[in-house]
Amino acid sequence: MLIKESLENQEAMSSVEKQLSDYFLNDTSEIKELTARQLANDLYVSPSTVTRFCQRLGFSGFPEFKEALITERLYLAHNVQDIDVNQPFLPSDSIWSVANNIRQLYT
């Protein structure tokens, strides 16, 4: 599952987790230079809350989460062009369309 999808799935999240999730979904400009402490100060939460949120998503902490999120965003921006990675083709698509979508995902 993509990190973006994990952040969008907010049904089982607390209000603070939703706030963190919304921040990562909406603010993409300064995440590279951001630290857990700076993020915590900006959102009025504790740094350990940020770390626990990242661990809940399957990462060891904020630095690993941040790197994976940046990598995913770059990949999606440059390689995937309107292809749903969970359902890259439909039964009505031509064999050439299916092959092209699979090629783009593989690349």
Q: What is the pLDDT of residues 24-44, one digit of tens each?
A: 988 666 788 899 999 999 999
Q: How confident is the model at residue 48 (pLDDT cuts 50, 70, 90)?
A: very high
Angle at which helix 36-43 crosses helix 62-78, to 10 degrees, equals: 90
Q: What is the pLDDT of residue 87?
A: 75
pTM summary value: 0.71
Tokens of 2: 């993509």
Query: How large is the average pLDDT for residues 78-85?
Result: 66
Q: How many CB atoms lie within 10 A of CB 36?
A: 21
Coil, strand or helix at 3? helix
